A = this chain, B = another copy of it.
């Protein structure tokens, strides 16, 4: 599949005097931008009173952008219901875990389960699609904005409660089935009707994890069906692609499920903000990367969203300078905006859209930089975007590389470890990310796979750490797989109803092994392996007839292998993981290259790219790459 690369930006005509629009559009075009996203927060300007519409300004804005050759992504405005919506639906709000109603005054102030709000969204999207579905300048749609941002997936509202009753009824049929599935005999938690079930917050001690898992599934399903409502409304009048802009490290809903209804996946990439507010690294690491971001975090999401988009994905919002929302908001090193942009392209992005065209001088995001300053002078990112635009002339198309290694990523496993981590820092996301970045440090280009992947035959090596329940599709795919699988810890350790399976885990196709017990360990504890590195956080006592590839210093089996299945019975640190992966790649003749410091590499079909996220120059592939430097070559030295 050929990828056409382009740049774009996010624009809010409603924020600026109308006389400024034409000049803005002209400058965008001159900069070399091809795409503009608009409209996603403009409901109060489109429909200032219920049923009273103002189209003229939006018509004109689209027209001006279009006449300057820009393709428009039109956002549905449902992330920001106007104030009059509250008068119509006073109970529209989500309710937090402590029972507090989350009020009007910012954004995302709605509960996904509220039926009245769903109808309003259907109505406005229908009207929008009808009006602009045939507009020649509209080239794509965006539904809503950043589902799940600000902890908005999970709501303990009355609407959610009623929705959950019906969801449970649909899944379990009878209350007896539900009691059985959840193990409600424990602590006399048995129900006699669906309407007796409460949402699992504010319990005296932890709620039944099966109850929690059902609620998390329901909550994720509500996002999917909310999005589908909009997709269905749009598709009545338009057949251009529909996207949603996901965020970084939001795991509360299943992005694969939402993505199944969309043509394009996109995400909002804020490397510096994310480093400070949602990545588990040492202070020292954050200090050294505070102006560059984490060298693997963006790549990981690029690869996830390439999977979610079934190959088609964008960066819908690209950080262009300091932002306003992280605990600390430094400026990127000069060159990083270019680096981030090229890294997205190397991972197969079609478009990279800078957020935002011009910094707004008012309201919540006034300290969020743009390509332009509030006074319309250029901000530092402007020249970097210009450089990329020029570089793109020679590299405007490409194709994704055929990756040899894949990692299965599973949202439900993230819910499982949210609900019952067993050790307080044992979260699935971190485990998957640890595998991912160890592979990256060996220079590997990976694909991400969904947990219901039914065919692994394109790969030589597939990683499935911590996937708590293997789907029947994946189980079958593994059975038929000729390549190598590396699994564990915790892989296949729960049934679909959050119980310990029988026979005991891992119960893996082709591996004779039993986890006798598991233990989580304090951060001060680690278990040295006789090969390289240590187990941290988590360790499993495994009884197996398989070969022992590594053992702990006190002689317990740590890594076992039989047939094409390797099981890692603990949480390996990076040294241990890189050793395991490197050995396996060597055996498979998959070439690896040890990355120096914070340099990372990514292949496309035609090029090999190196990105230096570090603060020192590094020599690799016969060249010196300065900090913030990007190097690419057509020769791929596999």
Chain A contacts to B: CB under 8 angstroms: 14-15, 41-45, 48-49, 77, 80-84, 86-87, 94, 98-109, 149-150, 152, 182-192, 196, 198, 200-211, 276, 283-284, 286-287, 290, 321-322, 324-325, 327-331, 359-367, 369, 373-375, 377, 379-380, 420, 422-424, 497-504, 516-522, 524-525, 541
- A361 with B525: CB separation less than 8 A: no
Chain B residues whose C-beta falls within 8 Å of the C-beta of A185 in the assembled complex? 14-15, 44-45
- B190 with A83: CB separation less than 8 A: yes
- B80 with A522: CB separation less than 8 A: no
Q: Which residue of B lies closest to A108 (CB)?
A: B204
Chain B residues whose C-beta falls within 8 Å of the C-beta of A186 in the assembled complex? 15, 41, 360, 362-365
- A106 with B375: CB separation less than 8 A: no
CA A597 to CA B321, docked complex, whole Å = 41
Known A100-B202, A104-B198: A517·B379 in contact at CB below 8 Å: yes
Nearest 3 Cβ contacts at the A-B interface = A183-B362, A186-B363, A44-B188
What would 16 more interface pairs be, CB under 8 Å, given A45-B190, A283-B522, A329-B422? A45-B188, A80-B187, A94-B204, A103-B201, A103-B204, A104-B189, A106-B187, A106-B204, A107-B204, A107-B205, A150-B205, A187-B364, A207-B364, A322-B519, A373-B517, A380-B517
Query: Which of these, B108, B187, B365, B498, contacts A41 with CB under 8 Å?
Result: B187
Question: What's the nearest-Cβ distance from chain B to residue A91, in Å?
Answer: 15
Question: What's the nearest-Cβ distance from chain B to residue A388, in Å?
Answer: 20
- B98 with A206: CB separation less than 8 A: no
CA A377 to CA B500, docked complex, whole Å = 14
Q: Which residue of B lies closest to A109 (CB)?
A: B204
Chain B residues whose C-beta falls within 8 Å of the C-beta of A80 in the assembled complex? 187-189
Query: Which of these, B49, B191, B206, B322, contacts A364 with CB under 8 Å?
Result: B206
CA A42 to CA B190, docked complex, whole Å = 10
Chain B residues whose C-beta falls within 8 Å of the C-beta of A188 in the assembled complex? 41-45, 77, 80-83
Q: Which residue of B lies closest to A502 (CB)?
A: B375
Chain B residues whose C-beta falls within 8 Å of the C-beta of A100 in the assembled complex? 98-99, 202
Known A183-B362, A500-B366, A520-B329: A103·B286 in contact at CB below 8 Å: no
Q: Which residue of B lies closest to A426 (CB)?
A: B328
Query: Which of these, B107, B284, B290, B327, contacts A424 with CB under 8 Å?
Result: B327
Question: What's the nearest-Cβ distance from chain B to residue A176, in Å?
Answer: 11
Question: What's the nearest-Cβ distance from chain B to residue A184, in Å?
Answer: 7
Query: Which of these, B109, B210, B360, B504, contacts A183 with CB under 8 Å?
Result: B360
A-B contact pairs, 17 of them (CB 8 A): A41-B187, A44-B189, A48-B192, A100-B202, A104-B189, A209-B366, A283-B522, A284-B524, A290-B525, A322-B517, A327-B522, A330-B525, A361-B502, A367-B422, A369-B517, A373-B504, A380-B517
CA A102 to CA B106, docked complex, whole Å = 26
Q: Which residue of B lies closest to A93 (CB)?
A: B204
Question: What's the nearest-Cβ distance from chain B to residue A629, in Å?
Answer: 17
Known A108-B204, A499-B362, A522-B328: A379·B14 in contact at CB below 8 Å: no
CA A84 to CA B44, docked complex, whole Å = 47
CA A497 to CA B361, docked complex, whole Å = 11
Residue with the greatest number of chain B CB neighbours at <10 A, chosen from A100, A286, A331, A497: A331
Chain B residues whose C-beta falls within 8 Å of the C-beta of A380 in the assembled complex? 517
Chain B residues whose C-beta falls within 8 Å of the C-beta of A14 in the assembled complex? 185
Chain B residues whose C-beta falls within 8 Å of the C-beta of A276 in the assembled complex? 522
- B500 with A374: CB separation less than 8 A: yes
Q: Which residue of B lies closest to A283 (CB)?
A: B524
Chain B residues whose C-beta falls within 8 Å of the C-beta of A286 in the assembled complex? 522, 524
CA A505 to CA B150, docked complex, whole Å = 31
CA A424 to CA B109, docked complex, whole Å = 25
- B331 with A541: CB separation less than 8 A: yes
Residue with the greatest number of chain B CB neighbours at <10 A, chosen from A14, A87, A188, A209: A188
Known A109-B203, A203-B104: A423·B327 in contact at CB below 8 Å: yes
CA A208 to CA B109, docked complex, whole Å = 14
CA A623 to CA B127, docked complex, whole Å = 85
Question: What's the nearest-Cβ distance from chain B to residue A155, in Å?
Answer: 11
- B499 with A361: CB separation less than 8 A: yes
Chain B residues whose C-beta falls within 8 Å of the C-beta of A330 in the assembled complex? 519-522, 525
- A203 with B105: CB separation less than 8 A: yes
- A84 with B520: CB separation less than 8 A: no
Question: What's the nearest-Cβ distance from chain B to residue A338, in Å?
Answer: 17
Question: What's the nearest-Cβ distance from chain B to residue A206, in Å?
Answer: 6
Chain B residues whose C-beta falls within 8 Å of the C-beta of A203 in the assembled complex? 102-106, 109
Question: What's the nearest-Cβ distance from chain B to residue A606, in Å?
Answer: 37
Residue with the greatest number of chain B CB neighbours at <10 A, chosen from A184, A202, A369: A202
- B517 with A321: CB separation less than 8 A: yes
CA A196 to CA B84, docked complex, whole Å = 9
Chain B residues whose C-beta falls within 8 Å of the C-beta of A327 in the assembled complex? 423-424, 522
CA A374 to CA B86, docked complex, whole Å = 51
Chain B residues whose C-beta falls within 8 Å of the C-beta of A209 in the assembled complex? 363-364, 366
CA A577 to CA B264, docked complex, whole Å = 53
- B190 with A44: CB separation less than 8 A: yes
- A108 with B205: CB separation less than 8 A: yes
